[in-house]
Amino acid sequence: MSYRPSVRVVQFLLSDEGASWLERAASLPCTPASHLADLSYLRRHLSPERAAAVLEQVQLRARAASRFEHADQMLFTDAGLQQSTHPAVAAHRAERFRGRPWVADLGCGLGSDTAALAQVAGGVLALDRDAVRLSCAQHNARIHGVGERATFVQADALSPPLCPSRLSVFADPGRRTAAGRRTFRPDDYEPPLSPLWERWREADGLAIKVAPGIPYAALPWANEAEAVSLQGQVKEITLWCGDLATPGVHRRATLLPSGATITDVEPQDCPVKAVGRYLYEPDGAVIRAGLVRHAGAALGLWQLDARIAYLSGDEPLASPMVQGFEVEEQLAFGLKSLRRRLRELGVGVLEIKKRGMALEPDAFRRRLRLSGNESKTLILTRIGDKPVALLCQRKTASQRLAV
């Protein structure tokens, strides 16, 4: 379990002395091998509690550097960093709140969403029950230049001490158990979704961030569910309610950083046909939103099987909605025959992708006993009740554009 600072230690980190030690500690090796030596050095000058806090803060800033522009000045907790919203996702979501007089950020965590909302709204009321996270969020808002546009209050999301008029609400309920494990049950969220909805249903617009695996279709009050991916990885589902939802839209997929989006109001006349020259895997957000057929129709593609989230076509495509693979061979599905053919081709590096198949790719790859210098992608799926193996070459965006 990682070190968790107290409010008193966070106050030290925010002081001039703490800032000085953070700067000095940033020059330490801060590697797993040097951990004891780094900690011993700091303990010669600081109390054990302060030394641990300084060292972890430097390590957390290094981890956050690829995500946050001002990571070297921000304050983090380990759990808070794991759960924090990527700035690109926060900025995208905040756009729907643009021009709102006041937005409540319920469960503000380390303040990534607070900073994004403060850029577009008149003011932000940032609430969190945890005093440590709240102190970090307030500091991080100042680092992002929006400290004066946000008010930070230690309070429960279901019983805030004050409610500005015309208040719009963004809620990010906790999705981990007391032991730190992720939970996908809405009733286990903190606070649970149903009480959250009941408390804020009369707000001037409500948005709730939930985990991608949640059965959001079973929540009748969620007018629009938006699946958001960043660089191909599904990050979250946002449930939009009231006038924040798009009229007529129930499901949406948005792909960042391109900003490409598709909804369920678009055509879905996507036929089912045999494998073409190219196989396309939809972005995870498209799959999570149940919009594979809509994406296929928009791109002029077809499905191999109506139940499987693969698309196909005879022409190369450059679209952020799909990743393309050029189909080189359709092989008989069987360990021995696949092993024999891959050896004939000299395939030593094999990416395995599968849908509709109950196998573990890494274990299957080991059983193939590969050797050679060639690289391929093996796509294992089903067409009807028949297992299919497609030997492909992955096409990068530049390769697709060049064809």
Question: What pLDDT is stored for residue 161 in this prediction?
Answer: 80
User: Would you say residue 75 lies in a domain?
Assistant: no
Burial class of residue 155, CB neighbours in 10 A (0-12, 13-18, 19+): middle
Residues of the chain with pLDDT under 70: 1-3, 164, 177-180, 397-403
User: Would you say residue 55 lies in a domain?
Assistant: yes
SS3 content of the chain, % helix, strand, coil (to 5): 35, 25, 40
Are 221 and 303 contained in the same domain?
no
Place of tokens 């799926």: 381
Are 298 and 156 contained in the same domain?
no
CATH of the domain at 295: 3.30.2130
Question: What pLDDT is stored for residue 398 in this prediction?
Answer: 39
Are 250 and 292 contained in the same domain?
no
Question: What pLDDT is stored for residue 180 in this prediction?
Answer: 67
Are 94 and 233 contained in the same domain?
yes
Question: What pLDDT is stored for residue 401 in this prediction?
Answer: 34
The 10 Å Cβ neighbour count of residue 305 is 17
From the list 106, 120, 127, the residue with the least C-alpha distance to 200 is 106
**pLDDT per position as a tens digit, 260-311:** 999 999 999 999 999 999 999 999 999 999 999 999 999 999 999 999 999 9
- The number of folded domains in the chain is 3
Strand order in the sheet with 322-331: 302-303, 311-313, 278-282, 322-331, 386-395, 374-383, 347-354
Are 204 and 289 contained in the same domain?
no
Q: In angstroms, what CA-CA distances link 338 with 350, 354, 359?
A: 12, 15, 15
Are 231 and 306 contained in the same domain?
no
Are 146 and 250 contained in the same domain?
yes
- What are the φ and ψ backbone dihedral angles of 57, each rounded to 5 degrees? -65, -40
**pLDDT per position as a tens digit, 148-173:** 999 999 999 998 887 767 899 999 99
DSSP state of 182: B
Hey, what are 109's tokens? Answer: 């965590």
* CB 276 within 8 Å of CB 312: yes
Which run of H or E residues covers position 322? Answer: strand 322-331
Handedness of CA 120, 123, 125, 130 (dihedral sign): positive
- What are the φ and ψ backbone dihedral angles of 295, each rounded to 5 degrees? -65, -40
User: Would you say residue 125 lies in a domain?
Assistant: yes
Place of tokens 């189909």: 327
Question: What pLDDT is stored for residue 402 in this prediction?
Answer: 30
* CB 281 within 8 Å of CB 353: yes
Q: Which residues span the domain enclosing 115?
A: 82-261
Domain boundary among 195, 227, 261: 261
Are 157 and 283 contained in the same domain?
no
- Give me the chain's average pLDDT, please: 92
Phi-psi region of 336 (alpha: psi -120 to 50; beta: other; left: phi over 0): alpha
Burial class of residue 175, CB neighbours in 10 A (0-12, 13-18, 19+): buried
Q: What is the pTM of this model?
A: 0.91
